[in-house]
Structure 1
Amino acid sequence: MFFATVLSMVFSHVRREYHLVYDVKKNMTEALKYCRERYTDLATIENMEDVKAVNDLIKLHWSSLPWSLWIGLYDDINSWRWSLTDGNFYKDGEREYRNWYPGNPKNKGGVEHCTQMGSDGQWSTTSCKRENLAVCFHAKGLNKKLVLINTTMTWTVAQNYCRRYYTDLASVRNKAENKQIKNLISKGQRVWIGLFRDAWKWTDGTRSSFRYWSDNEPDNRYKNETCVLVDLKDNNKWADVMCNQETAFVCHKVLEKKQRLRVRLVRQDASVDLNDPVVMGDLLQKLEQSMNSEEGTEDIKLSWIKQSDGKIFHKEEKKTKKAKYTDTKDEL
């Protein structure tokens, strides 16, 4: 028995249409609000193809532009969090415990995104590429302990090491645990703990590590340089600056690629109701998995399209061939 329906297929590979706004000058917050009201967001730039698209617009409007343009990249300075994410590990307020050395956290050179503890038990920010000893946390059943790793390594290598051989880099939930780790550290030593922050993010939430920095950028030269400009004086590369500057900016509009497909299914089990939400959800999941498993396909998202009567599936009536008859008359 055949049933027919229509699928909406959305290719979630995003195409962006960029728009230069240069007739008004705004700070980063104002530019973001403007772009979200009229387009999709401040510009997200994920690869050199996107860079070229923006550069082509800059060439087209060069005589009308100032020396810089906002894009949607910013430094999330309040995103400090622990490497160990298990919610059952923390009681109320324990995620927020801090023991910063005076003047910290800071962001010298725009690269201090990881946390080290000194032999005095106080914390400071530093580049994640620095090499320190590390303290791992190990939990096995009811047994929990802190382990000093007497090998210097970067923060990322330390995180991977702790996760491989123990549980994770150490979280510090209170004064007592801070003292425990302090007692592991010899005078003059510094160790990694699990506190870090996400550095640069796109305002539309896109997760992309692509960057097009100018040489020696980001540098946080004047402190609080948490927003990003395209620097037209430096081959349209990027620089971190304070967010209160007023200048032109680039917005983007997302253009989704959609396609409709007609689907015919054979119902082998007469007791299965294809219009049951659970059945439809299961079918949709299996179809998505099948389509995305093909090499070279994009990340495809599917959804059912309701027909005029509110149903998804309709039984197809069999088309029968009409027999042709020729009347004959017997002559008497």
Structure 2
Amino acid sequence: MSWDEARAYCRENYTDLAKVFDLTDMTRLQDSAQNQTEAWIGLYNITGGDNRRWHWSLPGEEYTENKTCWGAGQPNDYSANPENCVVTGDKWEDYPCSDKFQFICYDETMKDNKTFHLIETSVTWTQAQNYCRQHHTDLASGLDQIYSEEFKKLQNSKASKVNLWIGLFRDSWRWSDGSNFSFRYWDMDSFNDGVNNRKCATTLLERSGRWSSAGCDQRKPFFCYDGEFTQIYLSCLSNK
């Protein structure tokens, strides 16, 4: 079905198109894929700069506007490319996500064992996020982490203070059921951020479940979820 037809089907028969809170949810989708290679999920793009919303990379961490964190005049979208990712030095500044900076990862191996790791290699924001998720937990996210004593100690450990990526980003993608989940799992080799009418999200099940964008009128199999509190992910039977 097209993305709109799939959403209507899910709403009529279940709850909505599938939403994804974290990698555990993504694994559940893959496990119920029934040998499909690609399928719609409930993420779509509302194009336009004014529709962008700020999110923290770490699932479950909600962004609350706090002007005192930002530098003077920030965020300003100053460059020719959209400035959708954030660095911290003395204050926060928005930069294009394709720029390269060092970064700090957050690690939570146990409930009471939270640590940070300064990575002194300059990479893009997405590369930094991928590294943190693969080797630790995620990019440092949320005011409690960014302003913790341990974070500040790492930040000040360098001879001169440099800008560091943190887990704050903005985009214009929304979940079909209105959820505010910030989790994103893009395959950057194929992702096209809403350009050329590629405004609906599909999961590439043969690429570790990573996501890409596609034209919403394309016909694909899709995932529905069912349940108000406990999500039970179900793959539809075919893409008739």
TM-score, length of structure 2 as denominator length: 0.51
C-alpha distance in 2 between matches for 1:123 and 1:191: 9
Aligned counterpart in structure 2 of residue 132 of structure 1, from 86, 98, 101: 101
C-alpha distance in 2 between matches for 1:73 and 1:123: 25
Per-residue deviation, 1:102: 1.1
Letter in 2 for 1:100: W
C-alpha distance in 2 between matches for 1:168 and 1:132: 16
C-alpha distance in 2 between matches for 1:131 and 1:176: 19
**Higher Cα Rg: structure 1 or 2?**
1
The structure richer in strand per residue is 1
Per-residue deviation, 1:77: 5.3
Contiguous gaps of at least 5 residues in structure 1 = 1-10, 16-71, 214-253, 258-284, 293-297, 301-332
Q: Deviations over 1:205-261 (max 9, x none)?
A: 9x9734259xxxxxxxxxxxxxxxxxxxxxxxxxxxxxxxxxxxxxxxx99x9xxxx
Per-residue deviation, 1:180: 3.7
- 2:126 counterpart SS class: helix
The within-5 A match list for 1:231-270 is none
Counterpart of 2:86?
A: 115
C-alpha distance in 2 between matches for 1:106 and 1:166: 31
Counterpart of 2:73?
A: 103
Q: Tell me whether 142-151 or 97-106 shows the greater mean CA deviation.
A: 97-106
Change (3 A) 1:172 1:200: closer
Per-residue deviation, 1:14: 5.5
The alignment covers a number of residue pairs equal to: 147
| Contact kept? 2:140, 2:146, Cα under 8 Å | no
| Contact kept? 1:97, 1:173, Cα under 8 Å | no
Q: Cα RMSD over matched residues?
A: 3.7
Aligned counterpart in structure 1 of residue 140 of structure 2, from 162, 165, 170: 170
Per-residue deviation, 1:111: 1.2
Identity, % of aligned positions: 32
TM-score, length of structure 1 as denominator length: 0.38
Letter in 1 for 2:2: S
Per-residue deviation, 1:110: 4.4
C-alpha distance in 1 between matches for 2:58 and 2:195: 27
Per-residue deviation, 1:172: 3.0
